[in-house]
């Protein structure tokens, strides 16, 4: 069963018919108990989509369904949805337990019952012994967990996150995204999660909706989007890729990339295509084998070096393990392409 379903939803702000579509004809489903990420660059319509799930914005056209009910015209109070915002602003004058109980008390749950549910939720997010602390006595990550508990305690059918980790430093971001994923799976929550960070999307999601200019560019599992992007935009946004022009030969399988030949497992239409090449696709040989490429620079990034090269078909970069011998700037190496990490896309106009 799907918890959330959008059918041809469009949204423009303001009354003017001339206003641009913030969300332009979007259809998708979020299956119950799964986490779907809305991923895309700033301004592509992620927050607007999330706010339409919450009932904080209304669709200009189309329908929104939740758990089998048409909720298109229902307000936020009539939808079983909680939203966790970028700034998780706890009440500073309330202790942790009271912060978490607040929403329940507002909706009329008796004190003892609210306290018991809040304690259970604090246990679920790993804050069991912190209930008497003030928010100012907590680290950023702990405050984040209180905010999560505050949303969870209301037992929403759908939990919404809008860039929840963007205020945290890199290490804490990684920890928190793993925790959110763990709690989501343990409690079987249905989650819509907004981020512009592709590694976060890869790490937490069952499904990813890649958005571009108000539309869905592609929808799939992280692995499917990484391995089989259907456009230049998605190939670039889901992971790193170098884009190079290539020619499909008459046999439909051989592709020429300068002096390099790559074999497509699938038959293709002869003519120009664009190859999207992941950094892990390149194999490095001595200069006599494959595409000669001159080393322009390298940067040390811990587990690997990022090496920038100039060759006949353009400038490209790849990753080399820090355990492999590193070519020097000015050296010429030979590049060949493996089968993994090479994707054929329509030629760019």
Ligand X SMILES: Nc1ncnc2c1ncn2[C@@H]1O[C@H](COP(=O)(O)OP(=O)(O)O)[C@@H](O)[C@H]1O
Positions in 3-22 near ligand X (CB under 6 A): 13, 22
Binding status of residue 47 toward Mg ion by CB under 5 A: yes
Binding status of residue 195 toward Mg ion by CB under 5 A: no
Binding status of residue 37 toward ligand X by CB under 6 A: no
Q: Which does 288 bind (CB under 5 to 8 A by kind): ligand X, Mg ion, none?
A: none
**Which segment (5-13, 40-48, 104-112, 147-155) binds Mg ion by CB under 5 A?**
40-48
Residue from 8, 27, 43, 297 touching ligand X (CB under 6 A): that is: 43
Binding status of residue 45 toward ligand X by CB under 6 A: yes
Binding status of residue 36 toward ligand X by CB under 6 A: no
Q: Which does 184 bind (CB under 5 to 8 A by kind): ligand X, Mg ion, none?
A: none
Q: Which does 44 bind (CB under 5 to 8 A by kind): ligand X, Mg ion, none?
A: ligand X
Binding status of residue 42 toward ligand X by CB under 6 A: yes
Question: Looking at beta carbons only, is 13 or 300 nearer to ligand X?
Answer: 13
Q: Which does 58 bind (CB under 5 to 8 A by kind): ligand X, Mg ion, none?
A: none
* Closest approach of ligand X to the CB of residue 65, in Å: 21
Positions in 59-118 near Mg ion (CB under 5 A): none
- 3-state SS, one letter per residue, for the chain: CEEEEEEEEEECCCCCCCCCCCEEEEEEEEECCCEEEEECCCCCCHHHHHHHHHCCCCCCEEEEEECCEECCCCCHHHCCEEEECCCCCCCCCCCHHHHHHHHHHHCCCCHHHHHHHHHHHHHHCCCCCCCCCCHHHCCHHHHHHHHHHHHHCCCCCEEEEECCCCCCCHHHHHHHHHHHHHHHHHHCCCEEEEECCHHHHHHHCCEEEEEECCEEEEEECHHHHHHCCCCHHHHHHCCCCEEEEEEECCCCCEEEECCEEEECCCCCCCEEEEEEECHHHEEEECCCCCEEEEEEEEEECCCEEEEEEEECCEEEEEEEECCCCCCCCCCEEEEEECCCCEEEEECCC
Binding status of residue 198 toward ligand X by CB under 6 A: no
Question: Looking at beta carbons only, is 12 or 298 nearer to ligand X?
Answer: 12
Binding status of residue 47 toward ligand X by CB under 6 A: yes
List of residues contacting Mg ion (CB under 5 A): 47
List of residues contacting ligand X (CB under 6 A): 13, 22, 40, 42-48
């Amino acid at each position: 069963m799907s918890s959330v379903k959008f059918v041809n939803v469009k949204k423009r702000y303001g009354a003017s018919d001339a206003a641009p579509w913030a969300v332009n004809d979007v259809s998708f489903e979020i299956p119950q108990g799964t986490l779907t990420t809305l991923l895309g660059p700033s301004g592509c319509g992620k927050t607007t989509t999330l706010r339409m799930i919450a009932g904080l914005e209304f669709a200009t056209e189309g329908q929104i369904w939740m758990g089998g009910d048409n909720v298109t015209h229902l307000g936020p109070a009539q939808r079983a949805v909680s939203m966790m915002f970028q700034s998780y602003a706890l009440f500073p004058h309330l202790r942790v337990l009271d912060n978490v109980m607040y929403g329940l008390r507002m909706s009329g749950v008796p004190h003892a019952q609210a306290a018991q549910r809040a304690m259970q939720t604090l246990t679920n997010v790993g804050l069991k012994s912190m209930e008497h602390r003030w928010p100012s006595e907590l680290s950023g990550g702990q405050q984040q967990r209180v905010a999560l508990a505050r949303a969870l305690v209301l037992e929403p059918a759908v939990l919404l996150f809008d860039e929840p980790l963007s205020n945290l430093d890199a290490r804490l971001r990684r920890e928190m995204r793993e925790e959110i994923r763990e709690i989501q799976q343990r409690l079987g929550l249905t989650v819509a999660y907004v981020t512009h960070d592709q590694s976060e999307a890869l790490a937490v999601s069952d499904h990813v909706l890649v958005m571009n200019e108000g539309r869905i560019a592609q929808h799939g599992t992280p692995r499917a989007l990484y391995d089989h992007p259907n456009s230049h935009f998605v190939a670039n946004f889901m992971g790193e890729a170098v884009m190079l022009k290539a020619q499909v030969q008459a046999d439909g399988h051989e592709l020429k990339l300068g002096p390099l030949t790559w074999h497509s497992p699938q038959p293709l239409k002869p003519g120009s295509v664009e190859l999207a090449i992941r950094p892990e696709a390149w194999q490095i040989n001595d200069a006599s084998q494959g595409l000669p490429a001159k080393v322009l620079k390298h940067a040390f990034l811990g587990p690997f070096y990022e090496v920038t090269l100039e060759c006949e078909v353009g400038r490209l970069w790849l990753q080399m393990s820090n355990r492999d011998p590193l070519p020097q700037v000015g050296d010429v190496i030979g590049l060949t392409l493996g089968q993994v990490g090479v994707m054929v896309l329509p030629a760019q106009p």
